[in-house]
Structure 1
Amino acid sequence: MPNILVSDVVTTFMGPNQSENFDRNQVYDTCRIQSCDEKLGVVFNEAGDRLLGLGIRNFRCYYYVIENAQTLMKLPQSPPIRCDTTPTYRIFIFRYEFTVKNLEKEVNSLHKLKVWAAAKGPGEIIIDVIRAQ
């Protein structure tokens, strides 16, 4: 997707920024249009054209095993799915270069996203580092 700004993608898929008086030193805070329980936090570089970190708050859903025949007889056509009641925070840090300056930005972005997650409430935090170009 050439020439597409990350901020445009975030706004298109997640909705408008929830932060008042947003500036690029803050976490861009937004939520899914159809479910504001699910949230997105984004950290941009100073120019606003590069994604440094991304945090997603969602409720993990999964298929589960049916343990008895009586339950099996009452099931609808679709497979049984359960969703966690406590959210998971998945934080992605984007690594562009392995330099001291960029590692400082990673640490700063991770800190901002952890603070953002803590402000949203309890939940497990999973951190991934993504090599970016």
Structure 2
Amino acid sequence: MQNNYSQRLEMQIPKENVYTGTGIVSNFDDEFDKLSKSYTIHEYNDVKGFIRKHENILPFIHELTPLINKYFPNHRKLIEFCKDPEFLDLDFIMIYVECNDYDKDRITLDKFEDEPLYMSKFSKKINGLVCVDLW
């Protein structure tokens, strides 16, 4: 039987991380309300409904929050639900960081996006439901 992958380590595609978070949250409302301490929540009910539907992204947002605060300590942050008009599977949560100096903040955001937690701790399915960008 022939293997369909390269034997050179640098040429291998890493396996998908299947970690989906710490499991179902015991008290969703309390955990969700913690978000309002770090973020302004735009269209509260839409955001809450989407996160309730995809409850495993709540631990991801909670783990991202200290990392975002590390890179953007004095910036205002906002969470918004982004609805795709055609495909439900393309809906996602956007975390916006208020931009003070675009060039400097863009460089900082690029560094943040290279962080291992943001890149690979959670599965791509969860990472794809939460995006971070400047506003």
What TM-score do you get using the length of structure 2 for normalisation? Answer: 0.34
Higher RCO (C-alpha under 8 Å, 6+ residues apart):
2
Which has the larger share of helix?
A: 2
With the length of structure 1 as denominator, give the TM-score of the two structures.
0.34
Structure index of larger Rg: 1
